[in-house]
Amino acid sequence: MSELHAITFDLDDTLWDNHGVMLATEQGHYGWLLEELAAWHRARGEATLSLSREEGLADYLERRQALARATPERRGDFTWLRLRALEGQLEAVGLDRSTAILWAAAAMNEFHRLRVQVTPHPEAFDLLETLGRRYHLAAITNGNIHLKRQPLAAYFPVAVAAGELFTPKPDPNAFLNVLERLAVAPSNAMHVGDSWEEDVLPAQRLGMHAVWISGVEDRALPPRVYRIDHVRQLPEVIARLERGVDGA
Ligand SMILES: [Mg+2]
Q: How far is the CA of 145 from the centre of ligand 1 (A)?
A: 12
Q: How far is the CA of 5 from the centre of ligand 1 (A)?
A: 22
CATH number at residue 206: 3.40.50.1000
- Is residue 66 included in any domain, yes or no? yes
pLDDT value, residue 92: 96
Same domain, 237 and 126: yes
- Is residue 130 included in any domain, yes or no? yes
Is the pLDDT confidence value at 126 over 60? yes
pLDDT band at 165 (very low <50, low <70, confident <90, very high): confident
Q: How far is the CA of 18 from the centre of ligand 1 (A)?
A: 8
Read off the pLDDT of residues 225-238 as tens digits, 9 standing for 90 and up.
999 999 999 999 99
Single residue among 69, 95, 115 that ends a domain in this structure: 115
Single residue among 91, 115, 139 that ends a domain in this structure: 115
Verdict on whether the full-model pTM lies above 0.85: yes
Beta pairing partners, 225: 210
Is the pLDDT confidence value at 1 over 60? no
Q: How far is the CA of 10 from the centre of ligand 1 (A)?
A: 6
Q: How far is the CA of 246 from the centre of ligand 1 (A)?
A: 25
Read off the pLDDT of residues 19-61 as tens digits, 9 standing for 90 and up.
999 999 999 999 999 999 999 999 999 998 888 999 999 999 9
Range of the domain at 52: 19-115
**What's the total number of domains in the chain?**
2
Same domain, 236 and 202: yes
Q: How far is the CA of 9 from the centre of ligand 1 (A)?
A: 9
